[in-house]
Amino acid sequence: MCPRAAVGSLATVLDVALLAVLAQVVGWAVAGADAVAILAATAVSACGHLRFTSGGDPASRWFENPPRYLATAVGALVVDVAVLVALTGGRGSVSTVHLLVAKAVSRTVAV
């Protein structure tokens, strides 16, 4: 697996797993659980890409521009959380399948 795919996959798995644990096991509201999961995944993604993939690749320079990276990350977080809350009613008590399908849709829209 190429480094970009590995870093992206790790961040995605962390995002979804942390959301599920915080919302369904710990009992957090979906908005808070999703925001924390996204923040953790974003940190892992940024560190992983800076460490393993950005090298001298001009297409990866946006990771090295913190204001641009943070603005993009915050915008995606807001869209992801808003869509997920709309699809789940903000409740972590929805089924795991419902939560995961809603998360897949919210991530797709946020990208």
C-alpha dihedral, 25 to 31 to 34 to 39, nearest 10°: -130
For position 87, what pLDDT does the model report? 95
For position 24, what pLDDT does the model report? 92
For position 58, what pLDDT does the model report? 60
- How many Å separate Cα 25 from the centre of its chain? 19
Q: What is the pLDDT of residues 27-42, one digit of tens each?
A: 999 999 999 999 999 8
Residue 80: which of 63, 57, 64, 102 has the closest Cα? 102
Q: Which of 5-9, 61-65, 106-110 has the lowest mean pLDDT?
A: 61-65
CB-count exposure of residue 12 (10 Å: 0-12, 13-18, 19+): middle
For position 85, what pLDDT does the model report? 96
Q: What is the pLDDT of residues 57-101, one digit of tens each?
A: 666 666 667 788 888 889 999 999 999 999 999 877 789 999 999
Q: What is the pLDDT of residues 40-66, one digit of tens each?
A: 998 898 888 777 776 556 666 666 677
